[in-house]
Amino acid sequence: MTDPRVALVTGAAQGLGLATARRLAEDGLRVVLTDVNRGLLEASVAELVGAGLDVAEAVLDVTDDASVDECLRSLGHLDVLVNNAGVISRTPAQDIDSLRWDFEMAVNLGGTMRCSRAAYPLLVRSDSAAIVNLASVGSTFGLPQRLSYSTAKTGIVGLTRTLAAEWGRDGIRVNAVAPGYIETPMMLSGFDTGALDREILLRRTPLGRFGRSEEIAAAISFLTGPDASFVNGVVLEVDGGITVDGTFQDLSRTDTAAR
Ligand SMILES: NC(=O)c1ccc[n+]([C@@H]2O[C@H](COP(=O)([O-])OP(=O)(O)OC[C@H]3O[C@@H](n4cnc5c(N)ncnc54)[C@H](O)[C@@H]3O)[C@@H](O)[C@H]2O)c1
């Protein structure tokens, strides 16, 4: 029997990262869940272990070179990296605090670069190496009051394409998933602050509902798996069609002439 492929997921203590770790483990990979939040990470890993999945944990802060390098060095083997850790804040652009800007860049964009860089020596030795980065609707839309988040997530697209072009030649596929609105703690915080309006979002999304974490995990499973063996440098939108919708009238009106 061959050894299972090994995956590392950042920001895996909750939300999309946790759902992705679960899915990859269910696919038969050995998954290392990492997060900066030790308590939450331990609880989540215990749950997956209880479900009989082959998982391990490591505390890893994606903003910290030493933390990232030490964790990746300790692995010995790696086939899949999912750069999922992310943070968001909401402030009018004219009031943005420089430290907060730097922090969000360091997590959302710098973290992806840092983990990918540290993973390279391991991935280059794998015969099925794949990276998936988490983009966002903020990679397509300008998101008011989320200047640093939207800028970083747009940067993820450039980072993904550049690494795909450079490392594809080393046998490492690099792609991104751009989730729409998925019910996780990050999105729910937008309802709490009033930055997101549930009804408007549902109306704007052609499929008329929010996404589920498992649907993002499924896309990541595809992109990191053998069925995507010739897919490199794409940004796969998993967003119910919100970023392609050009509806600018009220479709609930019954007079078809209005369409
Ligand atoms: N939920 C959505 O609707 C949505 C939409 C588009 C994109 N995304 C992206 O998907 C990813 C996951 O989002 P989510 O909704 O699950 O978020 P979340 O807030 O629920 O979880 C994020 C996780 O990242 C961890 N984290 C934060 N800073 C870290 C650091 N410095 N080092 C390591 N871990 C850190 C947190 O502890 C947390 O466990 C993010 O990159 C986010 O931008 C989410």
Per-residue pLDDT of the chain (259 residues; tens, 9 = 90+): 678 999 999 999 999 999 999 999 999 999 999 999 999 999 999 999 999 999 999 999 999 999 999 999 999 999 999 999 999 999 999 999 999 999 999 999 999 999 999 999 999 999 999 999 999 999 999 999 999 999 999 999 999 999 999 999 999 999 999 999 998 877 888 888 888 899 999 999 999 999 999 999 999 999 999 999 999 999 999 999 999 999 988 887 766 555 5
Cα 89 to Cα 95: distance, rounded to the nearest angstrom: 12
Among protein residues, the one with the nearest Cα to ligand 1's atom 37 is: 37
Q: Tell me the whole-structure pTM to 2 decimals.
A: 0.96
Cβ burial of 244 (10 Å; 0-12, 13-18, 19+) is exposed
What are the boundaries of each domain within the chain?
A: 6-238
- Best of 22, 186, 201, 236 for a ligand 1 pocket test (most atoms within 8 Å of beta carbon): 186
Bridge partners of 177, per DSSP, are 134, 236
Q: What is the DSSP letter of 3?
A: P
Residues with CB under 6 A from ligand 1: 10-11, 13-17, 35-37, 60-63, 84-87, 107, 134, 136, 179, 181-182, 184-187
CA of 16 to the centre of ligand 1 (A): 7
Residue 41, both tokens: 């990470």
Cα 244 to Cα 207: distance, rounded to the nearest angstrom: 12
Active-site annotation holder among 149, 167, 174, 213: 149
Question: Does the active-site annotation cover 149?
Answer: yes
- Best of 72, 112, 184 for a ligand 1 pocket test (most atoms within 8 Å of beta carbon): 184
CA of 112 to the centre of ligand 1 (A): 12
SS3 234: coil
Does CATH number 3.40.190.10 belong to domain 6-238? no
Cα 135 to Cα 149: distance, rounded to the nearest angstrom: 10
CA of 252 to the centre of ligand 1 (A): 35
Cα 78 to Cα 97: distance, rounded to the nearest angstrom: 37
